[in-house]
Each structure stands twice: as C-alpha cells, then as structure tokens.
Amino acid sequence: MRVRNYADVVNRILETLRKSEHLTIWHQTHIPSTSTRIKGLPYPLYCLHYTAKQNSSSLIYVSAGIHGDEPAGVECAIRLIELLADGEQHNFGTFPLDAYNWLISPCDNPYGYERNIRENAAGLDLNRMFEIPNRCPETTFIAESLQRKRCADTQKPLSQNTMGRRQAIELALDLHEDSDSDGFYLWERRTSQCFPIGNAVVKNVDGLCAINREPLIENHRNENGVITLLNKVTTKGWTRGRYLAEQVNTRCLILETPTQLDWETRIAAHMIAVQTAIKHALKPL
Ligand SMILES: [Zn+2]
C-alpha cells in the first residue's frame, strides 16, 4: 500500500531546478514503476549537482532513501537542495551551504519510499548490492552518478566549471534511520590515516536528541554513538559506504536517526550532523 507519493519529491526537485542556475541534473535515469496510480510510468531518479561560486571548493556527496522506510533522510536531503536553490536563504543559520560543491541523491528507492518498506520492487535490500551494482537499476544509477557517467536525457547542461575532469568527493554522508534504536548513532568508514570526526558529530547532535550508547549495535562495537569501520571492513556486506570507500576512495559517515522520535527532530539531527561533519572533515573556508 502506498503511504507516500514520490511525485511530491519529484515536483520539489523540479522546482529547485527552475529556481537556481547553480543547481543542475548531474545524473538522471528512469526505473520501472508498478504503482497502481501511475502504472506504466517509470520513476525518475535524480542526482543533483550544486556548483559553488569558488571553483576550488570541496565536493560533498549526500545520499538518502536507499531504504524506503527511512524517510527523514530523504526530507533532509530535499530541504538541503531547497536551501541551496533559494538564493536568499542558502545559509542554514550561519553555516555557508553555498560555499561547497554538492552532489545530492535525495531518494534512491522510490518504490520503497512510497510503501514505507526497506526493499525495492524486486524485494532486494539495495544497500547490500554494491559488489556488482549493475544488477539493480537503482544501484546502477548510484554507481554511475559516482563514476561521473551522465546519461543522455539530462535536461540542463552542466555549468562551465563542472565540465572539466571529475572532482574527487572529499566527504560522503549517507542518511539513514533505525527503527530499533532509541537514539542517534553513526557508522564512520575511513582509512586509519584519516582523522576521526564521528565523535564531534555525535557531540553536536547530543542535546537535540538522545544518543544510542549501547555497547553493541548489529554486532559492531559502538563507542558513545560512533561505530568505526576502518579500511576494508566487510562485516556489513556490500553497502554504499563500502563502495564509496573502496571504489571512490572517500570517507563516509552513515547517519542513523531513530524513527520512533518525532519527524522534525529527526530531520534537524540529520541537518546538524551534515554540517558538523563538513566543518570537521574539510579545510576551513
Ligand atoms: Zn538504512
């Protein structure tokens, strides 16, 4: 049964593209839809690019909604896009969102999102499919977005300063939720040479919402809300985080808000976590 309408997400994305020249479609594809209301019409998937004024600014990748029953991540990603598109209000509080280049993939599993289920239409957990991404249309799309292969039906041309060689992603943030957790926590996937930032993120979220300090989460050691996955840890299977670490060579935080908390608190927790991660991972502006 459908509980949400993905068309609302698409309409909000298209509105931001009309508003801002800095926002462009980085990659787009269509995947089959089995929805009764829009039967036969495919779901469009979007990865958007925001171009900072400074060409040399860092590139941040934000993704959400690979699990369809984790909607606060999707809402946070769309609000980020809307803030970036709004020339007047693209700074969130005092945080200069527009000072960075962004790749934002806001809703990677529309079928699951509409039905509030984890899996896609084929019953697959997409966040375990990254060993061979081209077995699923959704993970093919994600891998293509990250490997900078754009498809032919992109509607707007990329602006001048994104036409060159692919810019390396310096920080990836994958927004998730957990229905079994009573507090926020995160997975930090990094190399041993890469300084940790997870604790700083949890510290800033603490106070806004509870932190999950259980010693073990899914059989992984949780230290005050941070589960560290160093180098080539394989115990989580072929997740997007592992793909980002091994195939894209970027550090990644996987953020988890508790779905039992109220809607706006979960979105705010994601938003604060995204900003704190940027502040600590990237060089000062
Ligand atoms: Zn998830």
- Tokens 């007047």 found at: 88
Going by C-alpha positions, the residue among 175, 176, 215, 171 that lies closest to residue 190 is 171
Q: How many A from CA of 285 to the centre of ligand 1?
A: 32
Residue 50 amino acid letter = Y
Q: How many A from CA of 110 to the centre of ligand 1?
A: 14
Q: How many A from CA of 282 to the centre of ligand 1?
A: 25
pLDDT 10s digits, 217-241: 999 999 999 999 997 778 888 999 9
CB hemisphere CA count around 59 (13 angstroms): 18
The whole-number pLDDT of residue 159 equals 45
Q: How many A from CA of 118 to the centre of ligand 1?
A: 8
Rounded to 5 degrees, φ, ψ at 57 are -65, 155
Q: Is residue 230 part of a domain?
A: yes
Q: What is the CATH number of the domain that holds 162?
A: 3.40.630.10
DSSP state of 103: E
Q: How many A from CA of 232 to the centre of ligand 1?
A: 20
The whole-number pLDDT of residue 152 equals 38
User: With the C-alpha atoms ordered 17, 73, 49, 131, is the resulting torsion angle positive or negative?
Assistant: negative
Q: How many A from CA of 70 to the centre of ligand 1?
A: 6
Q: How many A from CA of 4 to the centre of ligand 1?
A: 18
| Total residue count of the chain as it appears in this document | 285
Domain count, the chain: 1
Give bridge partners of residue 172 from the DSSP assignment. 61, 252
Q: How many A from CA of 176 to the centre of ligand 1?
A: 4
Residue 259 makes CB contacts below 8 A (sequence gap 6+) with 69, 70, 72, 177, 178, 179, 266
pLDDT 10s digits, 30-64: 887 665 455 566 899 999 999 998 878 999 999 99
Note the pTM of the prediction, 2 decimals. Answer: 0.91
Q: Is residue 1 part of a domain?
A: no
Q: Is residue 127 part of a domain?
A: yes
Q: Is residue 228 part of a domain?
A: yes
Q: How many A from CA of 147 to the centre of ligand 1?
A: 22
Q: Is residue 264 part of a domain?
A: yes
Host domain of residue 53: 6-281
